[in-house]
Amino acid sequence: MPTPEEQIIVIQKLHKWYGEMHVLRDINLIVHKGERIVICGPSGSGKSTLIRCINRLEEHQRGRILVDGTELTNDSKNIEKIRAEVGMVFQHFNLFPHLTILENLTLGPIWVRKIPKAEAEEMAMYYLEKVHIADQARKYPGQLSGGQQQRVAIARSLCMKPNIMLFDEPTSALDPEMVKEVLDVMINLAQEGMTMIVVSHEMGFAKSVAHRVLFMDEGQILESNTPVEFFENPQHERLRLFISQILH
C-alpha cells in the first residue's frame, strides 16, 4: 500500500468556475511520487486548466490542492515554494526571446535559487547536453526550430530541479517531424523516475511510459485506467467516441 508521504499531489473535490462556466467539476486525484499520468480529452474539457491549477497559474474556488504536503492557497510564500518545485512545459514553448538559450536556463536558478552564475551555467550546460542541444547554447530562441525550442524549454524547467513536471500539450504546436525528438526527451525523463503529468494526444507516448491515462470531458475525470486497458477496452461511452475520433 503506498504510504501517504509518497502522495506528492493530492486534489480533493476541486471546483473551478470562469464566471458562470463550471470548468472543473469535483476533481479528485492523487498522484504518487514517480508516477506518470497522461490526461486526454476533447478541447475545452478542462485538462489544461487542471494542470495549471497545480502551479497556481489558475485559481480554484472550491476544494483543496496539496503539492508535496503544502496546500495551495492565496499565500504567496506557499505559491512561490510550490512553483519552484513544479516545472511546466507549455504548448508554445514561451522561451524568452531577448535572452540567449543559456541565459534562458540560468534565469531561474540565479534569481530564484540564488545560485552563483558559474555554477548555474555549468548546470545549464549539463541539461542542454541531456536534451542534445548543447551546441546552441549561445544562440537566441528566434534562431531555433520548434522542436529545438521545446527541448530547450524542457531543459529550462529541469534546471530548477523540480520534483514534478507538468506538460501542457508539449507537441501540439510542432511540425510532425519534430514531435519524435521531443517525445524522446520526455521518455528519457520518465525512465529516470520523474513524476510527470502530461496533457497530450500522443498515444504512443502514453502506452510506453504512462502508469495511468485519464479521460476528461466537460470538467470531469470520467475514466482512469492503465494505458493498455484505456485504449483497448474503453468503458465510458464518451471515451469510446473520443478514441474512435483520434484513431482515424
Q: Which residue, 29 or 185, is less far from other proteins as judged by CB? A: 29
Q: Indicate the burial class of 103 (C-beta count within 10 angstroms; 0-12, 13-18, 19 or more).
A: middle
84 binds other proteins (CB under 8 A): yes
Torsion of the alpha carbons at 77, 78, 84 and 89, rounded to the nearest 10: -120
Site residues for other proteins, 2-31, by CB under 8 A, read 2, 6, 15, 17, 19-20, 22, 25-26, 30
Whether the CA torsion 122, 127, 130, 134 is positive or negative: it is negative
- Three-class SS of residue 135? helix
Q: Which residue, 179 or 239, is less far from other proteins as judged by CB? A: 239
Closest by CA to 108, choosing from 84, 75, 80, is 84
187 binds other proteins (CB under 8 A): no
Closest by CA to 136, choosing from 179, 124, 174, is 124
68 binds other proteins (CB under 8 A): no
Strand duo 164-168 + 195-199: pairing: parallel
Site residues for other proteins, 98-157, by CB under 8 A, read 98, 107-108, 110-120, 139-140, 142-144, 153, 156-157
Q: Which residue, 183 or 214, is less far from other proteins as judged by CB? A: 214
The residue ranges that bind other proteins (CB under 8 A) are 1-2, 6, 15, 17, 19-20, 22, 25-26, 30, 32, 34-35, 55, 57, 61-62, 80, 83-84, 86-88, 90, 92, 94-98, 107-108, 110-120, 139-140, 142-144, 153, 156-157, 160, 211-212, 217-218, 220-226, 229, 235-236, 238
